[in-house]
């Protein structure tokens, strides 16, 4: 075992991290920090329930060892997403569209949708489907989730265009 | 506590330091890049190694250099990065398409090209697209760089031609030039699927004549394979409907497919021919 | 007071936002594994290493330090080693000296302070068995059934007989016989199974976890644990999906965890990881169904003979009722005077099959809806013309002799689905194995039409008499409100929301004053399990009636205490009386709570008196009500690769009164997507090693957001008037009928009928290259 000591920016706040280098980010978030929004559905990077953003990219936190996250790494979890405008819009749209059923996949789903809107504020339905393809949902059949992301996108300010 | 927590992971700052660690570690020096395969194996039954060396984000492994005739792609480049790297798209379209079919966004963000190659799964998504470039693997060690053709790199089921002290630094991939590339992956679903079969092709036609043809398949044998008999058959011949049919049949005759949980040998044999046809009909 | 203001607001029929969604979108809802328990030990199940064998011995490695762990075996079971589901054959744990009947059958439970230690200890237990030859698959049992029926072992038989089959075949111009197969299907709730059991000082236990039916463990573990129902208390934690998978199985987990908990006096938690969850929890039953049908040239069906065999696995558990529901759906939706349906549950040496949304009906409808198209093809009729002619409607008699009521949208569903999808035109455009002009892919459209019986089969509801209560209570803000106390569990389907709507309307009360706490058998009457598409119909009616009961009590109280005997009525959260200033709800409710201490409304569900059912002969009114649906699937098949894409699904559905159209549509979209997976990708079988051959998410493939088609969903409402607000059962129906619609569309696309699901590129390839027919 090797122990690491790092400083990350987690949900906008500096955190000091200490633990075995091979500890899964998911376990660290859930057990050490009680950030339980990210869920374990499969433990092998297939279901997306554990999705968090690392430096703006969605990753499956169940297969990321904390040692690989250098000082200064920015991590965003569902608990931090509501501090972001697009995050709040997504949460609101998920409520309004009925995109939530059992809810277990939803934190990961919203994180993936948030990552998409950060890159592409006006995604096509096809782009939304592709961006969410790594998040399995067994309840909804995705229709209302795609609708909710579309609705949130429509409420985001129009991206500034070059003149 | 998860088994991965017991691993003594080292975090070298640069390639030189990583190479020194590997030279010292000898056969025990498991390399760990994005972890999309290894972390899964280690939490699901395969005992993890005692030590590992992280090559994730090593600066020397994360470069892409577009040169005159070829492109150097660092082994640590992620699939997501490849998908976004527009300058390489027109030179290596099959590889970019293949990278876009690896897992889903979460896996593409962590999985690396070097990891995909080193993992040496017959279903490695980028392998067929790499194979048709006739490119090489650049293996670094304290002794310098060794360059191995990709066509010789996968030596058996999950076996690669690399010494324990070597680290895949980069791939040198010739640009496609005037050739046309095509990539198709057939999975059980449209995303997050391990393929039933994949095909990549790079075929050059001039004035109705096939100048050169490279066709590679994945998920069909113990390693990714080139269809050399079909390629030889095609080279120099005029592209006609009959040629396409003959090539389809030759491919079906010469391929030696496996059967496993994802597909049957019969289907793989048939669809191999169909994919050859598809490549030739879309030139 | 203006007239407009006196109109009570109505919530039923509106898409109210879910009451549980806020915590879920914020990641604040705590599911079982998110709850921080202190001093809870972790349990690990030790299992049979073989599919069948004589259990010789269970030995603990003497080199291991056992002082830090507790091991429970069959010897530690306080009472009789049997779990009482629908029969009494299944032991809680395999017993030394007995026979182990499936790979993975539990033989011991190890618990320790950490999961790591418990897992390590489990590895030091040797399970010695003398292996016996197993019978692993449905295919093997069906072979026996066909060749040597006397050797076929059925755990439960049931026949439906209507009319005179021989006469029916004698009248037929044509006879068509065919077989249909389907494999296992995994529920794949995203939250795995988990239970924690707390032993109490008085010898009782408290269990909580992710489950659908809190009263099942209460009533099924009395014998082994030697605890009466009142000493087993079960409460629900938020459920991350269930779909039947958390119906009967959590009882087993409560039993497994209870043994080391009772032995050690410590709370024990057992949670499965995905691999263990897929391998060792029940799946949808594989089915073999054979239809032999007689019909006249004009399409009249004169005879239906059907054999329906489910793979029940090693023990019956609940497979009898799955088979009952299955055979009741085998010929339900069509007019035919002469019917024989024979249902069987085969025993195999595999994990017992169990509940999964649809509960035998999807397997039956897969068969009959494929077969109806085959009949149409034989007659040279279109699939829709045949169904228009034959579909059951009000006044028709079902195979068990039930006369269908007027509350029946069958015809409207069929016609509207055909119209919305322009089916006739789409059928003409179908490729039939030949690419038409402008088509780069084979295109096909397919139809299915079916019914789903709502609530318990036969006299189940009559016998059960589900109960429920609503009570006045001080809410978390200290102000008075109403608690809904029923045992229906929220598992994503939205029951907490729709019951809030129903109660709000019954009271005419602001839904913000209504709470629906998680089901807890210590606090709620037994309104039955959350299964069988019965919740809205039966328990929804209970909530409605119990709310009216409490409302009447409150109105009487208000009249007496505030309005000097003037008749009072509660409307829009205020009590009104002629000539008086209205009083807010809280004022009256608060005083009522202060004076009476408590107040509640109660209702016990009873079926109409004229419902008749004969369980032995399987005759009579098999369900209180029926939901109806017609589906149209459109598919494209790539001629290069045989890859299949379902591009569009039209679903027109009558499930009676729609309480919440947004949630209802969500149920349909979700169910259709599970059915899509069942039809085209979810493949699982018992392997030679006795284990399911797909046991991880890498190998068991369910649809992603890229795989789902465009859904066009339309409801037509024929409410169940006996039980206001009149829902007829929605949960299961969307799972029932898409697979055959897709198979029928595939037939329209390639000109070949596939009789096994899932339909894969490989099976399409095989069909196209089948030497027994012309390759299109």
The CATH number linked to C276 is 3.30.365.10
Cβ <8 Å between A135 and C30: no
Residue B265's CB: how many other CB atoms inside 10 A? 14
Handedness of CA C165, C166, C171, C175 (dihedral sign): positive
Looking at the structure, tell me whether residues C402 and C542 fall in a common domain: no
Pick from B104, B184, B186: which is nearest to C761 by CB? B186
CA of B5: which chain A residue's CA is closest? A22
Looking at the structure, tell me whether residues C645 and C695 fall in a common domain: yes
C357 vs C491: CA distance, rounded Å: 13
Handedness of CA C654, C660, C662, C668 (dihedral sign): negative
Judge if ipTM > 0.95. Answer: yes
CB of A64 within 8 Å of any CB in chain C? Answer: no
Looking at the structure, tell me whether residues C240 and C316 fall in a common domain: no
C196 vs C150: CA distance, rounded Å: 45
Of the three residues C545, C573, C604, the one that is the final residue of a domain is C604
Looking at the structure, tell me whether residues C269 and C291 fall in a common domain: no
CA of B267: which chain C residue's CA is closest? C762
Cβ <8 Å between C707 and B275: no
How does strand C480-485 pair with strand C514-515? parallel
Looking at the structure, tell me whether residues C581 and C646 fall in a common domain: no
User: What does each C-alpha distance from B126 to B98, B108, B115, B121, B198 come to in angstroms?
Assistant: 5, 12, 10, 10, 9
Q: Are B230 and B215 in contact (CB under 8 A)?
A: yes
Contacts of A27 in chain B (CB under 8 A): 2
* A18/chain B closest Cα distance in angstroms: 12
The CATH number assigned to the domain holding A98 equals 1.10.150.120
Mapped onto helix, strand or coil, the DSSP state of residue C303 is strand
C568 vs C5: CA distance, rounded Å: 16
What pLDDT digit, counting tens, does each position of C368-405 carry?
Answer: 999 999 999 999 999 999 999 999 999 999 999 999 99
Task: Domain of residue C472: give its range.
Answer: 3-30+466-604
Residue with tokens 């002009």, as numbered in its chain = C437
Looking at the structure, tell me whether residues A117 and A131 fall in a common domain: yes
B71 vs B136: CA distance, rounded Å: 11
Specify which residues C444 forms β-bridges with.
Answer: C635
CB of A32 within 8 Å of any CB in chain B? Answer: no
Looking at the structure, tell me whether residues C440 and C323 fall in a common domain: yes
What pLDDT digit, counting tens, does each position of C122-138 carry?
Answer: 999 999 999 999 999 99
The band of A163, judged by pLDDT with boundaries at 50, 70 and 90, is very low
Residue C97's CB: how many other CB atoms inside 10 A? 10
Looking at the structure, tell me whether residues A99 and A51 fall in a common domain: no
Of the three residues C550, C579, C604, the one that is the final residue of a domain is C604
Question: Over 80: is that where the pLDDT of B15 sits?
Answer: yes
* B162/chain C closest Cα distance in angstroms: 28
How does strand C174-182 pair with strand C756-757? parallel
A139 vs A122: CA distance, rounded Å: 26
CB of C696 within 8 Å of any CB in chain A? Answer: yes
Pick from C492, C665, C697: which is nearest to A139 by CB? C492
User: What does each C-alpha distance from A143 to A132, B32, C23, C43 come to in angstroms?
Assistant: 12, 38, 21, 39
Strands (E), C335-398: 339-346
The rounded Cα C337 to chain-centroid distance in angstroms is 30
How much is the mean pLDDT over chain B?
Answer: 96
- Domain-located, residue A161: no
C325, C330, C332, C334: CA torsion to nearest 10:
170
- Domain-located, residue C670: yes
The length of chain B in residues reads 283
Nearest CA among C513, C726, C651 for reference residue C13: C726
Query: In sequence order, which residues have a C-beta less than 8 Å from that of residue C336 and are 6 or more positions away?
Result: C162, C168, C301, C302, C303, C304, C390, C399
Task: Domain of residue A50: give its range.
Answer: 3-77
C437 vs C434: CA distance, rounded Å: 10
Query: With 0-12 CB in 10 A as exposed, 13-18 as middle and 19+ as buried, what is A58?
Result: buried
Cβ <8 Å between B261 and C699: yes
Greatest alpha-carbon span in chain A = 55
Nearest CA among C147, C140, C162 for reference residue C342: C162
Pick from C683, C694, C761: which is nearest to B267 by CB? C761
- Would residue C27 be called left, alpha or beta, if left means φ above 0 and alpha means ψ between -120 and 50 degrees? left
Looking at the structure, tell me whether residues A85 and A150 fall in a common domain: yes
Of the three residues C604, C637, C661, the one that is the final residue of a domain is C604
Query: In sequence order, which residues have a C-beta less than 8 Å from that of residue C120 and are 6 or more positions away?
Result: none
B63 vs B235: CA distance, rounded Å: 35
DSSP B46: S
A37 vs A75: CA distance, rounded Å: 13
- Domain-located, residue A87: yes
C736 vs C667: CA distance, rounded Å: 13
Contacts of B188 in chain C (CB under 8 A): 681, 683, 701, 760
Please tell me the predicted confidence (pLDDT) of residue B29: 80
How does strand B51-54 pair with strand B30-32? parallel
- Domain-located, residue C507: yes
- Domain-located, residue A25: yes
C157 cis-preceded (ω within 30 degrees of 0): no
CB of A27 within 8 Å of any CB in chain C? Answer: no
Please tell me the predicted confidence (pLDDT) of residue C776: 30
Looking at the structure, tell me whether residues A72 and A86 fall in a common domain: no
Looking at the structure, tell me whether residues C638 and C683 fall in a common domain: yes
- Domain-located, residue C773: no
- Domain-located, residue C174: no
Looking at the structure, tell me whether residues C389 and C517 fall in a common domain: no
Contacts of A29 in chain C (CB under 8 A): none
Looking at the structure, tell me whether residues A48 and A97 fall in a common domain: no
Residue with tokens 């109409």, as numbered in its chain = C608
Give the mean pLDDT of B87-112: 97
Looking at the structure, tell me whether residues A69 and A96 fall in a common domain: no
Mapped onto helix, strand or coil, the DSSP state of residue A3 is strand
Give the mean pLDDT of B212-223: 97
Contacts of C705 in chain B (CB under 8 A): 191
Residue with tokens 């080391």, as numbered in its chain = C260
Of the three residues A77, A112, A130, the one that is the final residue of a domain is A77
Chains in contact with chain C (at least 3 beta-carbon pairs closer than 8 A): A, B
As given in the structure block, the two tokens for residue C423 are 């089916």
Question: Over 60: is that where the pLDDT of A162 sits?
Answer: no
Question: Over 90: is that where the pLDDT of B161 sits?
Answer: yes
Contacts of C761 in chain B (CB under 8 A): 186, 196, 263, 267, 271
- Domain-located, residue A163: no
User: What does each C-alpha distance from C512 to C475, C480, C502, C711 come to in angstroms?
Assistant: 10, 11, 13, 33
- Domain-located, residue C628: yes
Q: Are C416 and C714 in contact (CB under 8 A)?
A: yes
Looking at the structure, tell me whether residues A108 and A63 fall in a common domain: no
pTM attached to this predicted model: 0.97
CA of A101: which chain C residue's CA is closest? C492
CB of A126 within 8 Å of any CB in chain B? Answer: no
As given in the structure block, the two tokens for residue C67 are 């002082």
Mark B1-35 as b/e (b = at least 16 C-beta within 10 Å).
ebebbbbebbbbeebeebbebbbebeeebbbbbbb
The rounded Cα C177 to chain-centroid distance in angstroms is 30
CB of C769 within 8 Å of any CB in chain B? Answer: yes
Pick from C34, C187, C708: which is nearest to A36 by CB? C34
CA of B107: which chain A residue's CA is closest? A59
CB of A86 within 8 Å of any CB in chain B? Answer: no
Cβ <8 Å between A96 and C22: no
Looking at the structure, tell me whether residues C364 and C498 fall in a common domain: no
Cβ <8 Å between C491 and A102: yes
Cβ <8 Å between A58 and B191: no
CB pairs under 8 A between A and B: 108
Please give the tally of structural domains in chain A.
2
Looking at the structure, tell me whether residues A85 and A71 fall in a common domain: no
Looking at the structure, tell me whether residues C275 and C297 fall in a common domain: no
C405 vs C345: CA distance, rounded Å: 31
As given in the structure block, the two tokens for residue C88 are 């009494």
Best to test chain A binding among C27, C284, C679, C731 (most A CBs inside 10 Å): C27
Pick from A44, A94, A101: which is nearest to C492 by CB? A101
Looking at the structure, tell me whether residues C471 and C565 fall in a common domain: yes
C632 vs C609: CA distance, rounded Å: 38
Of the three residues A22, A44, A77, the one that is the final residue of a domain is A77
As given in the structure block, the two tokens for residue C533 are 């598409």
Cβ <8 Å between A41 and C192: yes
Specify which residues B218 forms β-bridges with.
Answer: B198
Query: With 0-12 CB in 10 A as exposed, 13-18 as middle and 19+ as buried, what is C620?
Result: middle
User: What does each C-alpha distance from A83 to A11, A97, C29, C452 come to in angstroms?
Assistant: 8, 21, 18, 46
Nearest CA among C120, C33, C105, C104 for reference residue C71: C120
Please give the tally of structural domains in chain C.
3
Residue with tokens 């397919």, as numbered in its chain = C446
Low-confidence residues of chain C: pLDDT under 50: 1-5, 774-776
Query: With 0-12 CB in 10 A as exposed, 13-18 as middle and 19+ as buried, what is C124?
Result: middle
Cβ <8 Å between C704 and B267: no
Cβ <8 Å between C643 and B274: no
The band of B52, judged by pLDDT with boundaries at 50, 70 and 90, is very high
Contacts of A47 in chain C (CB under 8 A): 190, 274, 697
Domains of chain B, start order: 3-54 (3.30.43.10), 60-174 (3.30.465.10), 180-281 (3.30.390.50)
Chains in contact with chain A (at least 3 beta-carbon pairs closer than 8 A): B, C
Looking at the structure, tell me whether residues A73 and A88 fall in a common domain: no
Please tell me the predicted confidence (pLDDT) of residue C1: 41
Cβ <8 Å between B35 and A131: no
Of the three residues A77, A104, A131, the one that is the final residue of a domain is A77
Pick from C642, C706, C762: which is nearest to B190 by CB? C706
Cβ <8 Å between C706 and B261: no
C501 vs C540: CA distance, rounded Å: 10
- Domain-located, residue C199: yes
Question: Over 70: is that where the pLDDT of A159 sits?
Answer: no
Looking at the structure, tell me whether residues C655 and C754 fall in a common domain: yes
CA of C191: which chain A residue's CA is closest? A41
> Which A-chain residues 68-87 have CB contacts (< 8 A) with chain C?
77-79, 82
């Amino acid at each position: 075992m090797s122990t690491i000591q790092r400083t990350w920016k987690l949900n906008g706040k500096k955190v000091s991290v200490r633990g075995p280098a091979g500890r899964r980010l998911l376990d660290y978030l859930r057990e050490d920090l009680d950030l339980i929004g990210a869920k374990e559905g499969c433990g092998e990077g297939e279901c997306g329930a554990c999705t968090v953003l690392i430096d703006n990219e969605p990753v499956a936190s169940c297969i990321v060892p904390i040692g690989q996250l250098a000082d200064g790494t920015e991590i965003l979890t569902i608990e931090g997403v509501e501090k972001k405008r697009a995050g709040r819009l997504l949460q609101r749209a998920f409520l309004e569209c009925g995109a939530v059923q059992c809810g277990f996949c939803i934190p990961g789903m919203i994180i993936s949708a948030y990552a998409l809107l950060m890159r592409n504020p006006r995604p096509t339905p096809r782009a939304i489907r592709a961006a969410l393809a790594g998040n399995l949902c067994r309840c909804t059949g995705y229709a209302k989730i795609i609708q909710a992301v579309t609705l949130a996108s429509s409420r985001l300010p129009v991206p500034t265009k070059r003149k | 506590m998860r088994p991965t927590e017991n691993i003594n992971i080292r975090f070298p700052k640069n390639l030189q330091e990583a190479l020194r660690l590997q030279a010292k570690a000898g056969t025990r020096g498991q390399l760990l890049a994005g972890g999309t395969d290894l972390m899964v194996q280690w939490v699901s039954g395969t005992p993890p190694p005692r030590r590992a060396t992280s090559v994730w984000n090593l600066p020397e492994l994360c470069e892409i250099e577009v040169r005159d005739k070829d492109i150097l792609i660092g082994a640590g480049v992620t699939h997501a990065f490849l998908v976004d790297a527009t300058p390489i798209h027109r030179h290596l379209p099959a590889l970019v398409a293949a990278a876009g079919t690896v897992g889903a966004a979460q896996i593409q963000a962590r999985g690396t090209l070097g990891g995909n190659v080193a993992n040496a799964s017959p279903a490695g998504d980028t392998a067929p697209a790499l194979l048709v470039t006739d490119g090489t693997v650049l293996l670094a060690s304290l002794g310098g760089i060794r360059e191995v053709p990709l066509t010789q790199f996968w030596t058996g089921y999950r076996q690669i031609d690399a010494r324990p002290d070597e680290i895949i630094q980069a791939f040198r991939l010739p640009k496609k030039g005037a050739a046309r590339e095509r990539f198709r992956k057939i999975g059980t679903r449209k995303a997050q699927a391990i393929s039933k079969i994949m095909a990549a092709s790079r075929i050059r036609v001039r004035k109705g004549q096939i100048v050169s043809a490279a066709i590679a398949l994945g998920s069909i044998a113990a390693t990714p394979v080139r269809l050399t008999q079909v390629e030889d058959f095609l080279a120099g011949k005029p592209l006609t409907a009959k040629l396409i049919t003959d090539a389809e049949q030759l491919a079906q005759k010469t391929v030696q497919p496996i059967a496993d949980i994802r597909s049957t040998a019969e289907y793989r044999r048939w669809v191999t021919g169909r994919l050859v046809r598809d490549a030739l009909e879309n030139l | 007071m203006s007239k407009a203001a006196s109109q009570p607001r109505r919530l039923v029929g509106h898409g109210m936002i879910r009451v549980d969604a806020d915590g879920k979108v914020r990641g604040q809802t705590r599911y079982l594994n998110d709850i921080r328990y202190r001093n809870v030990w972790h349990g690990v199940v030790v299992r049979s290493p073989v599919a069948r064998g004589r259990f010789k011995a269970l030995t603990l490695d003497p080199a291991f330090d056992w002082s830090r762990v507790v091991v429970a075996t069959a010897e530690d079971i306080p009472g009789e080693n049997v779990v009482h589901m629908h029969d009494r054959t299944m032991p809680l744990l395999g017993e030394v000296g007995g026979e182990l009947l499936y790979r993975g059958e539990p033989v011991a439970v190890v618990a320790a302070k950490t999961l790591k230690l418990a897992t390590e200890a489990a590895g030091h237990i040797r399970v010695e068995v003398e292996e016996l030859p197993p019978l692993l698959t449905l295919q093997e049992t069906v072979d026996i059934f066909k060749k040597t029926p006397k050797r076929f072992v059925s755990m439960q038989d049931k026949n439906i007989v209507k009319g005179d089959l021989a006469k029916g075949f004698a009248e037929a111009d044509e006879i068509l016989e065919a077989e249909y197969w389907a494999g296992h299907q995994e529920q794949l709730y995203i939250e795995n199974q988990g239970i924690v059991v707390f032993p109490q000082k008085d010898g009782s236990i408290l269990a909580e976890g992710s489950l659908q039916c809190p009263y099942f463990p209460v009533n099924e573990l009395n014998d082994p644990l030697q605890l009466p129902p009142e000493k087993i208390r079960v409460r629900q934690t938020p459920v991350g999906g269930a779909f039947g998978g958390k119906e009967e199985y959590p009882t087993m987990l409560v039993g497994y965890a209870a043994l080391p908990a009772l032995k050690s006096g410590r709370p024990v938690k057992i949670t499965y990881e995905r691999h263990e969850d897929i391998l060792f929890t029940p799946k949808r039953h594989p089915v073999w169904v054979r239809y032999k049908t007689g019909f006249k040239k004009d399409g009249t069906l004169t005879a239906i003979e059907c054999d329906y065999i489910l793979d029940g696995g090693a023990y019956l558990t609940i497979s009898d009722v799955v088979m009952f529901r299955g055979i009741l759906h085998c010929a339900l939706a069509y007019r035919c005077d002469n019917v024989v349906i024979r249902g069987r549950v085969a025993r195999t040496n595999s994990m017992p099959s169990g509940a999964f949304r649809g509960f035998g009906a999807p397997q039956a409808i897969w068969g009959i809806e494929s077969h109806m198209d085959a009949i149409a093809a034989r007659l040279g009729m279109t699939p829709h013309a045949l169904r228009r002619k034959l579909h059951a409607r009000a006044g028709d008699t079902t195979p068990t002799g039930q006369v269908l009521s007027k509350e029946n949208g069958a015809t409207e569903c069929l016609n509207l689905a055909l119209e919305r999808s322009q089916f006739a035109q789409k059928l003409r455009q179908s490729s039939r194995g030949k690419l038409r002009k402008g088509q780069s892919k084979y295109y096909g459209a397919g139809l299915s039409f079916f019914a789903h019986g709502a609530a318990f089969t036969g006299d189940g509801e009559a016998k059960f008499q589900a109960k429920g209560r609503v009570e006045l209570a001080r809410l978390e803000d200290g102000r008075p409100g109403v608690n809904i106390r029923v045992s229906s569990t929220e598992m994503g389907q939205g029951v907490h929301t729709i019951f809030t709507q129903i109660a709000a309307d019954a009271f005419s009360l602001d839904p913000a004053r209504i709470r629906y706490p998680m089901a807890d058998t210590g606090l709620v009457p037994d309104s039955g399990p959350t299964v069988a598409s019965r919740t809205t119909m039966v328990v929804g009616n209970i909530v409605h009636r119990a709310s009216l009961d409490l409302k009447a009590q409150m109105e009487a109280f208000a009249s007496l205490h505030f309005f000097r005997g003037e008749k009072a009525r509660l409307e829009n959260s205020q009590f009104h009386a002629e000539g008086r200033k209205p009083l807010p709800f809280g004022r009256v409710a608060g005083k009522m709570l202060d004076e009476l201490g408590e107040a509640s409304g109660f209702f016990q569900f009873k079926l109409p008196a004229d419902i008749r059912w004969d369980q032995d002969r399987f005759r009579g009114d098999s369900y209180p009500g029926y939901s109806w649906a017609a589906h149209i699937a459109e598919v494209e098949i790539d001629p290069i690769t045989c890859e299949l894409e379902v591009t569009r699904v039209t679903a027109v559905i009558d499930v009676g009164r729609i309480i919440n159209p947004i949630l209802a549509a969500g149920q349909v979209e979700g169910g259709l997507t599970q059915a899509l997976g069942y039809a085209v990708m979810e493949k699982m079988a018992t392997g030679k090693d006795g284990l399911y051959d797909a046991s991880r998410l890498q190998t068991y493939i369910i649809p992603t957001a890229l795989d789902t088609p465009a859904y066009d969903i339309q409801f037509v409402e024929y409410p169940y008037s006996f039980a206001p607000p009149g829902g007829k059962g929605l949960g299961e129906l969307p799972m029932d009928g898409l697979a055959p619609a897709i198979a029928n569309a595939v037939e329209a696309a390639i000109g070949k009928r596939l009789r096994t699901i899932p339909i894969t590129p490989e099976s399409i390839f095989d069909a196209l290259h089948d030497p027994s027919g012309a390759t299109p």
